[in-house]
Amino acid sequence: MSRYYCGYNPAPPNFTTFFPEKYKDRLQRLPNFGKLRQTWEIHKRPTLVMLHVFADDFGALEKYVEMVYQLAAPQVLSAEMDFYVDDMWQSYIFNEEDFSFFRDDDGFSVDSFPLIYAIGSTGEVFFFGDFAGPKLPNLESLRDFCEEVIGGNVKEPTTKESKVEEISLDSWNELLYASDEDIAICFYNSLQDGTEVNKRLMINLDRLGDRLKQESVRLYKMDIHEVSVPKKFNVESSPAFFVLQGTQRHNPLRCKYELGIWTMLRFVAENSTEELNYYNRRGHLRLHANLLTHMRDYFDLSHNQSGCFL
């Protein structure tokens, strides 16, 4: 059984046979590389895509396939929506640049919920779940989701504002102890403003704020020029980046990496009280978020028309 979801690795053993004939009158498997978007563009029909991590154990998937099969009945939703069901290995068609899906990320097992996405008539991609991952479908909730997509009124979870808040000693206690959320804070010296170090740091902090906008982590920065930093931080030089866990405010953890966007993100992911919604402990995008990102790129008309993928 291959660890990777990738066109360059062996497919699951029953990849060509797992999809039973009895479902083929209503459900489709994903087409070959790059064909799904071309098919979608012709008709602009809302589309449901259900993928399972272990379709090579079809018993784990069949109850969900049966559910989608009922929704795809002519008298239910097939007149308004197309339905695809496949093994995760085939998902590489959504990722034309980087074949990097892992079968063993996030503790997936044969009992994991399927990953369900829908594409609206305008190319918007929606996930059946929330920031933390997929939710358990039933016939009623999945039908509601499909009808919302068809009607163009899907209610997605909202993210917080993407920003890095400036903090000072005057507001220190008020902000740091206002809640029990995890905190990431970067100490910098304004004497270095205009230098490459600070320019790069501020750009990376803004990017980090964007990547944490669906997470319960607050991001701050503080100018330490002519300021005495609380001793527990032991700031010997700047910049310095710390994580304070929600219930461990007295024990700040200093980033051991050279400060860059991915190293700071990894450090937050490694040390957050609870595992982040979109990133595993290594700072890698979790499977449901990774696939959502690539599907949105895949169906984004402006990206595809310009030949540009994020």
Share of the chain above pLDDT 90, in %: 50
Tell me the C-alpha distance between 20 and 34, whole Å.
24
Name beta bridge partners: 82.
Answer: 47
Sequence-ordered list of residues with C-beta below 8 angstroms from that of 147, at least 6 positions apart, any chain:
77
Local confidence band at 106 (pLDDT 50, 70, 90 cut-offs):
low
pLDDT value for 107 = 59
pLDDT value for 239 = 93
pLDDT value for 36 = 86
Q: What is the pLDDT of residues 260-301, one digit of tens each?
A: 999 999 999 999 999 999 999 999 888 899 889 888 988 885
Tell me the C-alpha distance between 52 and 29, whole Å.
12
What average pLDDT does this structure show over 79-108? 73
Sequence-ordered list of residues with C-beta below 8 angstroms from that of 310, at least 6 positions apart, any chain:
293, 297, 303
Q: What is the pLDDT of residues 164-223, one digit of tens each?
A: 999 988 888 887 777 889 999 999 999 888 788 899 999 999 999 999 999 999 999 999
Q: What is the distance between the terminal CA atoms of the chain, rounded to a whole angstrom? A: 30
> Which of 107-111, 125-129, 233-237 is the least confident region?
107-111
pLDDT value for 153 = 93
Pairing state between β 47-52 and 4-5: unpaired
What average pLDDT does this structure show over 234-241? 88
Give the pair of three-digit tokens for residue 104: 């063993």
Question: pTM, whole model, 2 decimals?
Answer: 0.85
> Which of 50-54, 121-125, 146-150, 302-306 is the least confident region?
302-306
Cis peptide before 46 (omega within 30 of 0): no
The overall average pLDDT reported for the chain is: 85
Tell me the C-alpha distance between 1 and 9, whole Å.
10
Q: What is the pLDDT of residues 2-41, one digit of tens each?
A: 344 444 466 777 778 888 899 999 999 988 767 888 888 8
Tell me the C-alpha distance between 178 and 176, whole Å.
6
| pLDDT exceeds 60 at position 306 | no
116, exposed or middle or buried, with CB in 10 Å at 0-12, 13-18, 19+? buried
Domains of the chain: 4-157+286-306 (3.40.30.10), 165-271 (3.40.30.10)
Of 60, 62, 82, 61, the residue nearest 71 (C-alpha): 82
Q: Does residue 162 or residue 98 have the better pLDDT?
A: 162
Q: Please answer whether residues 274 and 217 qualify as being in contact, where contact means their C-beta atoms are separated by less than 8 angstroms.
A: no
Q: Please answer whether residues 61 and 27 qualify as being in contact, where contact means their C-beta atoms are separated by less than 8 angstroms.
A: no
Of 162, 169, 265, the residue nearest 209 (C-alpha): 162
